[in-house]
Amino acid sequence: MEKEQETLRAWKDRVARELDRVVAFWLDHSHDQEQGGFFTCLGRDGQVYDDLKYVWLQGRQVWMYCRLYRQFERFRRPELLNAAKAGGEFLLRYAQVAPPAKKCAFVLTRDGRPVKVQRTIFSECFYTMAMNELWRVTGDARYQNEAMEMMDQIVSWVREDPSGLGRPQLPGAPASESMAVPMMLLNLVEQLGEADEELAGISAELGDWCAQRILQHVQRGGQAVLENVSEDGEELSGCLGRHQNPGEEWEWGGLQMWGLPASLHTGHRGPGWDPGFQMTPLCSQLEWAMKLWWPHSEAMIAFLMGYSETGDPALLRIFYQVAEYTFHRFRDPEYGEWFGYLNRDGKVALTIKGGPFKGCFHVPRCLAMCEEMLNNLLSRLAPASALSTRSPPAGPTRPGAE
């Protein structure tokens, strides 16, 4: 028991220190002091190698800063809040390509001109997450109005009429649904419903709908989670149908309250620990040959959450194993933050710390969630001994194990 506490505490300290280093990296290198918003195309040492602003990552960084500001006393600093607000203003001013139409750009120039539009919902989803978090830290209703209006549009695109997304209707294009869509929507339902019983009630039906759609992706007698299925929930042929995304499966951990079974996400380790998580052979996807940062950080969360909720010591052991590997291979002790892309053998493949898809989100979020969970575990073991660095949570605590 003592030993167990020691190990937990050691990891808690390690994770908290790493969170500090990671946040410092983004504080030091990513803020566009002139235009607002964030540079995410950062080289190993934090130098900006491209000033394009990717909208998912703008939304995510605003969200992350607000979340840290809200939940950790040591992050309740003006520089975080100001940068989040500046990022929010940048989104408000520039994200939508042709206002009042709600469609947002995928990527903008440094000064906010649209470069590319992606015909998916994700820019709009991260915009919504950002606006809602900004409202929660500032109390400014303007942000919440933005969040609610954008949410309505997203739901309309997904459940009623996708034509506003601009996807061409080609005869051969498979009628398929990507798991990422209901998962993202469920995240939005959780985000907007936090500490808001009325809203949570309204969106319960939407949450159930999302959970049902997600469960359709459990195929082959429960043995596989497939990224794309037909609209009727059947397996698809070809590479599209075979596509698996273990990183997303780990993200199920956070959606357990919606009826997604815990046993699937922690029992199913994806394509095998060799060590590190390989993407399933995606036919011709180059990522198959690589190990990416975010499935590893999501796995850390999933196993620690699984242990928190079930008490099964095997899950804690796996958490330590995954965390040890991840820290060892992805961390950069010299310049801070984590490399994003390793080869199959665990060596660094690309030295960038941020790019079109890697920003201030998965890594700090993982560390923040793990710090909180480890703190809670320590509290349970020996209430007087857990050094709490958190202020009381601003939202509902996680429901207990089923």
**Nearest approach, Cβ of 219 to a second copy (angstroms)?**
18
The answer to whether 153 and 99 have CB atoms below 8 angstroms apart is no
107 vs 214, beta carbon nearer a second copy: 107
Structure tokens at 173: 């294009």
Residue 243: closest CA among 290, 282, 274, 291: 282
**Nearest approach, Cβ of 353 to a second copy (angstroms)?**
11
- How buried is 139 (Cβ within 10 angstroms: 0-12 exposed, 13-18 middle, 19+ buried)? exposed
**Nearest approach, Cβ of 326 to a second copy (angstroms)?**
19
**Nearest approach, Cβ of 21 to a second copy (angstroms)?**
22
Q: Please state, in angstroms and rounded to a whole number, the distance separating the CA atoms of residues 190 and 207.
A: 8
106 vs 143, beta carbon nearer a second copy: 106
82 vs 343, beta carbon nearer a second copy: 343
Structure tokens at 186: 């469920």
Q: Please state, in angstroms and rounded to a whole number, the distance separating the CA atoms of residues 200 and 235.
A: 32
**Nearest approach, Cβ of 60 to a second copy (angstroms)?**
16
Burial letters 306-329, b for 16+ CB under 10 A, else e: bbbbbeeeebbebbbebbebbbeb
**Nearest approach, Cβ of 58 to a second copy (angstroms)?**
14
**Sign of the torsion formed by the C-alpha atoms of 285, 289, 295 and 299:** positive
Q: Please state, in angstroms and rounded to a whole number, the distance separating the CA atoms of residues 63 and 68.
A: 9
- Catalog residues that contact a second copy under the rule CB under 8 A: 41, 49-52, 97, 105, 107-109, 112-117, 168, 170-174, 237-239, 242, 281, 283-284, 286-290, 341, 343-344, 349-350, 352, 355-357
Q: Which secondary structure element, helix H or strand E, spans residue 46, and what is its range?
A: none
**Nearest approach, Cβ of 87 to a second copy (angstroms)?**
18
**Nearest approach, Cβ of 97 to a second copy (angstroms)?**
7
9 vs 102, beta carbon nearer a second copy: 102
- How buried is 383 (Cβ within 10 angstroms: 0-12 exposed, 13-18 middle, 19+ buried)? exposed
237 vs 397, beta carbon nearer a second copy: 237
171 vs 400, beta carbon nearer a second copy: 171
Q: Please state, in angstroms and rounded to a whole number, the distance separating the CA atoms of residues 335 and 45.
A: 6
Q: Please state, in angstroms and rounded to a whole number, the distance separating the CA atoms of residues 311 and 307.
A: 5
The answer to whether 277 and 270 have CB atoms below 8 angstroms apart is yes
141 vs 175, beta carbon nearer a second copy: 175
267 vs 281, beta carbon nearer a second copy: 281
The answer to whether 151 and 189 have CB atoms below 8 angstroms apart is no
117 vs 148, beta carbon nearer a second copy: 117
Q: In which order are the strands placed within the sheet that holds 341-343?
A: 290-292, 341-343, 348-350
